[in-house]
Amino acid sequence: MQNKQLNGPDQSQRPEFLQINLNAAGIDVGSRNHYVAVRQDRDKQPVRMFDAFTADLYDLADWLEACGVETVAMESTGVYWIPLFDVLEQRGFEVKLVDPRRLKSVPGRKTDVVDCQWLQQLHTYGLLSGAFRPPECIRQLRSYLRHRSMLIEYAAHHIQHMQKALTQMNMKLQHVLSDITGKTGMDIIRAIIAGERDPLKLAELRNYRVRADKETIAKALQGHWQDEHLLELTHAVELYDAYHEKVAECDQRIEAHLNTFEDRSDGEDVERDPRKRTQQHNAPKFDLQTYMYQMTGVDLTKIDGIDGYTVLKLISEIGLDMNQWPTAKHFASWLGLCPGSKITGGKQKSSRSKVSASRAAAALRLSAGSLHSSKTALGAYLRRKKAKMGSPEAITATAHKLARLVYAMLKYGRDYMGAGQDYYERQYRERVLRNMTRTAEQLGYKLVMIADPDLEPA
C-alpha cells in the first residue's frame, strides 16, 4: 500500500466566492493511483495520493471520513472511476460524477495535484453537476445489453472474413444474396465447408424467398477452390457461430433479469399491431413487447418507429424514473437532441446540437430514420424536415419528437394515439394559412382563398 503526502499550490490567496458545499473533496482518477484534495483546514496535507488497489480505496474513504467530507466530485475517466465510486457510495458519501469535457482546468497548470484541487474548489462553490447514474438493477441490465452489442459487433467482423474468403476464391455469393448470413447463405457456406463443390448442388439449397434463380446462384458459385481460403472460411464460420452462442447465453441472462422487475401492467395483455414488424434483426428471441409493457406499465411500441428491442435499449440507458429530468426539454437536452444556443452580440452563431455519445439518442435516431416511408404523422414530419433542412438534421428533429413522447408516456403513464399522415398534413396546412394571413395583414393585404384551386386554369 502506498500513501504519499503531496504539496500543492497555496489556495489561501484565491478570491472568495459563496461556498455551497463546505465539506467537499475532489478526486483526480487514474489507472494506477488517485489524487484526492480536501479543504486546507481539514488536514496538514490536504492533497494526498492513494494507489488504486482495493485496500487503498478503503484507506481513501477512511481519510475522507476523518476529514469530515460529505460530498465528493470526480471525473468519469474511462472505467477507472467505477470501483472508487462504488466504495464511496457504500460509505455514504454523496458522489458527483463529472464529465471531463465540461471541466476546464486553469491553462498552463496541468498536473494531477492541480486537477484534484480544481475539482474540490469548483465543487465547494457548487459549480459542478453530477452525471446521471441509474439504479443498480438498471445498470445490470445496461451491462448485459452493452456486452450483447459488443458480441454482435465481433460476430459482424467474421461476416466480413467470410466475404473476403469467398471473394478470394472468386465466388460472388454476396452479389446474388442480400445477406450471406441468412438461411440460404449459411446453408451454402456450411455445405462448402462440409466438402460440397458442385455449384448446381449448392444452388439447390436456395430458399424460395430468394430473388435470384438457381442458375444465377450456381454461376456465382463457380470459383477456384483453394485450401488456404477454405481454412479462412471455416474459421470465420466457427467464430461467427461461437459469438452467436454467447449472444444466446446473454439473452438468457437478460430474460432472467427482466423477470426480477415489478409488473406494472395490472395483469393486462399488450395489444399487438399486425402492421409492425414483430422482431428486428439480431433482436432477442423472447417476447420483448410483453416484457417491456410489464416493466414500464405503458406500451412504448405504439409509438411509430419504436419496437420492443428499441424500448429495451432505451430503458437500459435511461431507467424508469423520469423525475431525474424536470421536463421533456431537460430530457431532450440531456440526450443531445435539442438545438444548441450559441448567441454572441445578439446574433445566433450556431444552433447545432451538442455532440453526444448517448446510446439512447442513437437508438432514437435509428427509429426516426426508419420512418421515411411511414404513412403516419411522424413519417410526414420527417419527410417535410428532410426537404427543408437535409437528412441528418431531420432525423435529429424527429428523434427529438420521439424522446418527448417517450418521456411523457413513462412519466405520466399516458397512452399514445398516433395521428395519421392526413391529420398532420391538415394541421400543417392550417398553420401555414394562419401565418400567411397574419403576414398579409401586416403588409396591408387581404388573403382570399379561391373556390377550388384544382379547377382553375393553369
Please report which confidence band the pLDDT of residue 434 belongs to, taking 50, 70 and 90 as the band edges: confident
Tell whether 188 is covered by a domain.
yes
Name the domain boundary from 258, 276, 291: 258
DSSP 178-203: S-TTSHHHHHHHHHHHHT---HHHHH
pLDDT in tens, 157-201: 999 999 999 999 999 999 999 999 999 999 999 999 999 999 999
Tell whether 71 is covered by a domain.
yes
Q: Decide which of 422 and 170 is more confident.
A: 170
- Give percent of the chain with pLDDT exceeding 90: 57
pLDDT at 416: 81
Give the C-alpha separation, 315 to 303, whole Å.
15
Of 97, 91, 95, 38, the residue nearest 69 (C-alpha): 38
Q: Decide which of 171 and 350 is more confident.
A: 171
Torsion of CA 419, 424, 426, 431, to 10 degrees: 130
Per-residue pLDDT for 246 more than 50? Answer: yes
pLDDT at 436: 87
pLDDT at 202: 93
Statement to judge: residues 64 and 117 lie in one domain: yes
28 near 119, Cβ under 8 Å? yes
Give the C-alpha separation, 87 to 424, whole Å.
52
pLDDT at 107: 58
The mean per-residue pLDDT over the stretch 414-441 comes to 79
Which residue range is the domain that position 10 belongs to? 3-124
Statement to judge: residues 25 and 100 lie in one domain: yes
Statement to judge: residues 120 and 163 lie in one domain: no
Please report which confidence band the pLDDT of residue 458 belongs to, taking 50, 70 and 90 as the band edges: very low
Per-residue pLDDT for 66 more than 80? Answer: yes
pLDDT at 395: 93
Statement to judge: residues 188 and 104 lie in one domain: no
Torsion of CA 412, 415, 421, 427, to 10 degrees: -50
Statement to judge: residues 87 and 178 lie in one domain: no
Residue 444, CA distances (Å) to 101, 437, 439, 440, 441 in order: 52, 11, 9, 6, 5
Per-residue pLDDT for 9 more than 60? Answer: no
Give the C-alpha separation, 413 to 302, whole Å.
13
Statement to judge: residues 164 and 254 lie in one domain: yes
Name the domain boundary from 124, 155, 182: 124
Give the C-alpha separation, 105 to 114, whole Å.
8
Of 131, 125, 129, 123, the residue nearest 27 (C-alpha): 123
Give the C-alpha separation, 308 to 280, whole Å.
9
CATH number where 188 lies: 1.10.287
Name the domain boundary from 230, 258, 286: 258
Per-residue pLDDT for 106 more than 80? Answer: no
Tell whether 348 is covered by a domain.
no
CATH number where 103 lies: 3.30.420.110
pLDDT at 138: 95
71 near 38, Cβ under 8 Å? no
291 near 251, Cβ under 8 Å? no
Residue whose grid cell is 494531477: 112
| Arithmetic mean of pLDDT over the chain | 87
Tell whether 423 is covered by a domain.
no
Tell whether 244 is covered by a domain.
yes
Residue 456 exposure: Cα atoms within 13 Å on the Cβ side: 6
pLDDT in tens, 283-326: 898 889 899 999 999 999 999 889 999 999 999 999 999 999 99
C-alpha cell belonging to residue 333: 437536452
Tell whether 217 is covered by a domain.
yes
Statement to judge: residues 89 and 170 lie in one domain: no
Strands 342-344 and 47-51: unpaired
Determine whether 31 is exposed, middle or buried from the number of CB atoms within 10 Å of its CB (0-12, 13-18, 19+).
Answer: exposed
Least confident of 233-237, 311-315, 357-361: 357-361
Per-residue pLDDT for 388 more than 70? Answer: yes
The string over 316-348, giving b where at least 16 C-beta atoms fall within 10 Å of a residue's C-beta and e elsewhere, is: bbbbbebeebeebeebbbbbbbbbeeeeeeeee
Tell whether 264 is covered by a domain.
no
Statement to judge: residues 161 and 118 lie in one domain: no
Compute the Cα dihedral for 123, 128, 129, 133 and give only its sign.
negative
**What pairs with residue 342 in β-bridges?**
350
H or E segment to which residue 75 belongs? strand 71-75
The mean per-residue pLDDT over the stretch 348-372 comes to 85
Tell whether 205 is covered by a domain.
yes
pLDDT at 265: 84
pLDDT at 428: 80
Please report which confidence band the pLDDT of residue 8 belongs to, taking 50, 70 and 90 as the band edges: low
pLDDT at 4: 56
Q: At what angle do helices 288-296 and 308-318 cross, to 10 degrees?
A: 40
Per-residue pLDDT for 455 more than 50? Answer: no
Instruction: Name the domain count of the chain.
Output: 2
Pure H helices in 106-171: 112-124, 136-168
